[in-house]
């Protein structure tokens, strides 16, 4: 299952790929003469990677290493089956050599709950882990932990969210988190929060940033998604530090209808203008979820899955500085993951 998830980071979610959707598109629309040229960025050949006994839900890379998190409790060598007795215990988190696919044995942490998201700090020195766990290697860690990548040791970083954390967005001085929590560090902070990052220029790592706050509102319950959570599923700090883009199951932020995408002031959480929301009309009856927001440094790419049918399930690009729509690819069939490599956008969906 790791092989599928590795493709997901390059092409969307593993679930979307297995459901039958891998689409490659040029991130910047090509000239007509280029449009018919087959992309050769990726060969599509499966890599020799270790396998997991349950799904991988998050991947991150740093220093030639692939970090995987999810619902698995064991990993096994490539080419072996689940009855081979060659499985190695790895509870919800593992690391592999990006070139060879080999398991990195010195990276071994015991978590007591699922991993939802992994992010590497901008300086490449820290791996942030988010999920439903409350301990790592027997030490209390409230749904978020940080690992030193120079020696694979657990840091003291512990923002201590009281419920599951589903998304992370790191900067040099702050770590943004979202989920189903209502408190962080014992203080009221429902759904989204900002804490001092590891290695920040000031402040205690893991401490709550009291200057930041935002209120995310969920859509009304519907027969397709039940009672939605307003949590963010993707958090993207802009490269210039002027925006914090969030996407998820909400349809309003700070009392203003936004649909499932919003731009916040990274310092305060105040809602900013995001012009693409005007070009992509907001349906407040939708219980859909924005699944991923990524950037190539110039554009932000957004993809979503919609509930009930007819809600937005496509992918669009917007100028990350102005928020203006660049292009919009609507579709039916949930879009669940995207990645940009060498000017090509890869998407995992069951588009039809």
Q: H-helix or E-strand containing 232? A: strand 232-237
With H, G, I as helix, E, B as strand and everything else as coil, classify residue 18.
Answer: helix
Q: What is the pLDDT of residue 228?
A: 77
pTM: 0.88
Using DSSP, state whether 300 is helix, strand or coil: strand
- Quick one: what percent of the chain has pLDDT higher than 70? 82
What integer is the mean pLDDT of 250-261? 92
Would you say residue 10 has pLDDT above 50?
Answer: no
At residue 43, the pLDDT reads: 60
Distance of CA 243 to the CA centre of its chain: 17
> From the centroid of its chain, how far is CA 191?
16
pLDDT attached to residue 54: 96
The pLDDT value given to residue 305: 81
Least confident of 59-63, 99-103, 176-180, 224-228: 224-228
Side-chain half-sphere of 227: how many Cα atoms within 13 Å?
1
**Strands across the sheet containing 252-253:** 216-217, 252-253, 256-257
Whether the bond between 66 and the residue before it is cis, its omega within 30 degrees of 0, is no
- β-strand partners of 178: 167, 192
Residues 6+ apart with CB under 8 A from 267: 211, 212
pLDDT at 310: 65
Q: What is the mean pLDDT of the chain?
A: 86
Sorting pLDDT into bands at 50, 70 and 90, what band is 7?
Answer: very low
Centroid of chain to Cα 282:
22
DSSP states of 56-123 as a string? EEEEEEETTEEEEEES-SEEE-TT--TTSS--EE--SEEEEETTT--B-TT----BSS-EEEEEE-TT
Q: Is the pLDDT of residue 106 over 60?
A: yes
Tell me the mean pLDDT in the region 133-160.
99
pLDDT greater at residue 298 or residue 311: 298
CA 321/CA 276 separation, integer angstroms: 12
Are the C-beta atoms of 95 and 105 separated by less than 8 Å?
A: no
| Confidence band of 34 (pLDDT split at 50, 70, 90) | very low
Rg (the chain; Cα; Å)? 20
Q: Quick check: 326 pLDDT over 90?
A: yes
Q: Where is average pLDDT lowest: 77-81, 135-139, 164-168, 201-205?
A: 77-81
Please state the three-class secondary structure of 301-315 as a single string.
EEEEECCCCCCCCCE
Give residue 212's pLDDT.
99
Q: CB–CB of 175/194 below 8 Å?
A: yes
Instruction: Read off the pLDDT of residues 276-288 as tens digits, 9 standing for 90 and up.
Output: 988 765 555 666 6
Q: Mean of the pLDDT values across residues 97-116? A: 96
The residue extents of the domains of the chain are 217-352
* Percentage of the chain lying above the pLDDT 90 cut: 65
- pLDDT, position 347: 87
pLDDT-derived band of residue 25, with 50, 70 and 90 as boundaries?
low
């Amino acid at each position: 299952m790791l092989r599928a998830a590795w493709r997901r980071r390059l092409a969307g979610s593993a679930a979307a790929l297995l459901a039958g959707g891998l689409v490659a598109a040029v991130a910047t629309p090509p000239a007509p003469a280029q449009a018919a040229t087959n992309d050769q960025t990726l060969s599509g050949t499966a890599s020799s990677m270790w396998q997991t006994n349950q799904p991988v839900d998050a991947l991150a890379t740093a220093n030639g290493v692939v970090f995987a998190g999810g619902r698995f409790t064991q990993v096994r060598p490539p080419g072996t089956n689940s009855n081979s007795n060659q499985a190695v215990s790895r509870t919800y988190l593992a690391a592999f050599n990006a070139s060879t696919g080999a398991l990195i044995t010195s990276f071994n942490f015991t978590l007591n709950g699922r991993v939802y998201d992994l992010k590497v700090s901008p300086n490449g020195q820290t791996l942030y882990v988010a999920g439903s766990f409350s301990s790592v290697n027997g030490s209390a860690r409230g749904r978020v932990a940080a690992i030193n990548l120079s020696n694979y040791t657990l840091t003291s970083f512990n923002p201590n969210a009281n419920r599951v954390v589903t998304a992370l967005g790191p900067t040099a001085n702050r770590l943004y988190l979202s989920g189903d929590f209502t408190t962080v560090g014992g203080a009221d902070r429902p759904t989204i929060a900002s804490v001092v990052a590891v290695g920040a220029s000031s402040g205690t790592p893991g401490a709550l940033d009291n200057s930041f706050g935002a209120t995310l509102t969920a859509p009304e319950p519907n027969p397709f998604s039940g009672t939605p959570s307003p949590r963010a599923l993707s958090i993207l700090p802009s490269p210039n530090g002027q925006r914090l883009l969030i996407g998820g199951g909400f349809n309003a932020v700070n009392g203003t209808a936004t649909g499932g995408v919003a731009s916040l002031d990274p310092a305060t959480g105040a809602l900013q203008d995001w012009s693409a929301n005007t070009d992509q009309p907001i349906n407040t009856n939708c219980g859909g979820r924005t699944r991923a927001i990524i950037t190539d440094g110039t554009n932000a790419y957004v993809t979503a899955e919609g509930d009930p049918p007819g809600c937005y399930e496509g992918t669009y690009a917007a100028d990350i500085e102005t928020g203006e729509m660049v292009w919009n690819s609507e579709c039916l069939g949930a879009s669940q993951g995207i990645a940009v490599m060498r000017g090509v956008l890869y998407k995992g969906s069951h588009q039809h």
